[in-house]
Amino acid sequence: MNTHLRRSIALTAALTLGIGLAAIATQSASATVPDLGQHVAVPAYIPPSDTTSWSSLNSATSQLGFIVVNVSNGPGNAVDPAWKTVIDAAHAHGTKVLGYVDSGYFGASTPARSTVLGDTDSTSWTVQAQQDVNRWYSFYGSSIDGIFVDDGMNTCGPTAGSNTYADLYENLNDYIHGNHPGSLTVVNPGISVPQCYEDAADVIVTFEGDAATYLAPPTGIGPEAWQLNGDPNKFWNIIYNVTSANLTTVMNQSKTDNAGYVYATADTLPNPYDTAPTSTYWTNEQNASKGTSTTVPATPARPTADDVYSTGADFSWTSSSASNVVGYEVYQGSLHVASVGNFYPADTEWTPAGLTANTAYSYTIKARTRAGVLSAASTARAITTDVEWGNAASAPGTVTTSNLTANGVNLAWTASTVTNDPVAFYDVYENGTRILSLQPSVTSVHIGYLAPATAYSFYVVARVTSDTPSAHSTTASVTTPNPTPITGAAVTFNATTAHFEAQYNLTYNFQNVFIDTDESLSTGYQINGIGADYLIENGTLYHSTNELNAFDWTPVTLGSGPLTSSTGGLYKWDVPSSTFGSATALSVVFDGSGSSAEATLAPITVAKS
């Protein structure tokens, strides 16, 4: 099986969080449509086998800004050759390709989301997200142009005045930019957010929903003032169920809402992102995203480096007073590294993330009009970052390991005791490679994505604010066990309940139960000799759409469940027998996929008792 159900981008309406209500703009303020030059950006959760959709994307004009790819709620467990083909082709076409990373709301939603290791705390989600970022670049290399962070929160913090949530996204954003210069980052709250999210990512998804909601947003859903007055390149709106007849209206609304990135699709729930627009619709969408004015803005002033330090510099430049200049593009040499809003009447300011000490860099900027026309490049500003001047911290204390499983281990250390300069990060090294950079308050982590039957060594380094590293901590070594992936699989089927359970001994993004209810291979999805008419994937039951052997499913609503528990990897599901109609026997295949190599058991057949 090489396709899976993709969770759609978070359907945030279901999220039980407060909505930032500050400064909701009225939709009627602008009668005429602004001349906004946009880019189309596509959540391309499209099976690589859908050559029609991929051909459409890979024939797009330069109006296509970026696409988001999602192998398995993230990068999967290894390079997928079919995905590599479409990712490489899109990148070669000039389209930026962003890898999907789940932030799980950093565990702060209700109910709390779990990492693949089963943790719900914000540090564990940070660890998994950083590891997922590393794996996208490790698997798909230079064809990855950035990272899409799903499941963004939409309040600044848990209480008024707290910025805890926004800071978690900002720290992840800095990790991505610092480790991958020039990468484009996106965060998806799916709804308008307060301005505390301004530095959470390069681009923020401030609407994800259907056309009807987009065109007549309920209170609290429409764009906030800082979006309407900000740099359009900061905002992406995603609208599904857009008919051909409605396309122009929706695209005009996105310009009125000042969204520099937009996606309209005729596709609908449950997964509006598993196809791409084609033919006339696609052409019309790209054309509608263009600006019309060709006025070239004045060349901006040369940026000033107000302060240069070992990991960065504070730049500023005189803002343009021209009302059509909405932002600037910043280049480090020939590499585009940022879009920055025009701060007029104040000076515009920008700070890069994670420069290397004692290294020469050169920066230029270009002004950008609302219609999307760029100026000539400014005179360059050359800098050389400072040397690592600070006092190194003492090495972190003894590293210990616990809770070793086939795919994970807990690592703990004691904080550096001598810190003449403040510690900025604890860096965790796995087999000599830095895999995590953590806030200085963190001294224990649950590391995932280990391979079974494999030797690992870990040490920790403290890095102070001037980037000077400490000596290594002691090294801890472990060898992971090699369990049978799925054990204890069992099915019971009586007049009232069908019960399924299995012990999953490896971590997976998807715990699957394929169920053939008519004992016919020629109905439903074929796997290991059964034709599955139903599928349980994690906490959801699906019915096959009955297209022969297609991986195409529709959710089935149950009164409760089907998942009743998953403690320690022992998954138990109950489904009312009436759901399966007149079935007299069930043939069942248990399966796990995603972050570990796929495991698929032989069918278990049980007659109704």
Distance of CA 254 to the CA centre of its chain: 22
- Scored b (16 or more CB within 10 A) or e, 282-319 reads bbbbbebbbbeeeeebeebbebeeeeeebbbbebbbeb
Size of interface with Ca ion, in residues (CB under 5 A)? 7
The least distance separating Ca ion from the CB of residue 523, rounded to whole angstroms, comes to 4
Contact (Cβ atoms closer than 8 angstroms) between residue 44 and residue 267: no
The least distance separating Ca ion from the CB of residue 521, rounded to whole angstroms, comes to 7
Of the pair 226, 525, the CB lying nearest Ca ion is at 525
Instruction: Mention every residue, 6+ apart, whose C-beta is less than 8 A from residue 412.
Output: 399, 400, 401, 402, 443, 444, 445
Of the pair 375, 587, the CB lying nearest Ca ion is at 587
The least distance separating Ca ion from the CB of residue 518, rounded to whole angstroms, comes to 5
Of the pair 279, 582, the CB lying nearest Ca ion is at 582
Of the pair 269, 602, the CB lying nearest Ca ion is at 602
Of the pair 383, 532, the CB lying nearest Ca ion is at 532
3 state DSSP class of 287: helix
Cα(248)–Cα(33) distance, integer angstroms: 11
Of the pair 297, 524, the CB lying nearest Ca ion is at 524
The least distance separating Ca ion from the CB of residue 186, rounded to whole angstroms, comes to 40
- Ranked by CB distance to Ca ion, the top (closest) residue is 531
Cα(568)–Cα(529) distance, integer angstroms: 30
The least distance separating Ca ion from the CB of residue 516, rounded to whole angstroms, comes to 4
Q: What is the DSSP string of 376-415?
A: PPPPPEEEEPPP--SPPPPPP---EEES--SS-EEEE-PP
Retrieve residue 382's tokens: 């050359």
Of the pair 320, 587, the CB lying nearest Ca ion is at 587
The CB-side HSE value for 342 (13 A sphere, CA atoms) comes to 23
The least distance separating Ca ion from the CB of residue 527, rounded to whole angstroms, comes to 11
603 is an interface residue for Ca ion by CB under 5 A:
no
Of the pair 430, 533, the CB lying nearest Ca ion is at 533
The least distance separating Ca ion from the CB of residue 497, rounded to whole angstroms, comes to 21
- Scored b (16 or more CB within 10 A) or e, 546-578 reads eeeeebbbeeeeeeebbbeebeebebbbbbebe
- What's the CA dihedral at 216, 222, 228, 234 to 10 degrees? -120
The least distance separating Ca ion from the CB of residue 496, rounded to whole angstroms, comes to 22
Between residue 507 and residue 566, which ones bind Ca ion under the rule CB under 5 A? 516, 518, 520, 523-524, 531, 533
Residues that bind Ca ion (CB under 5 A): 516, 518, 520, 523-524, 531, 533
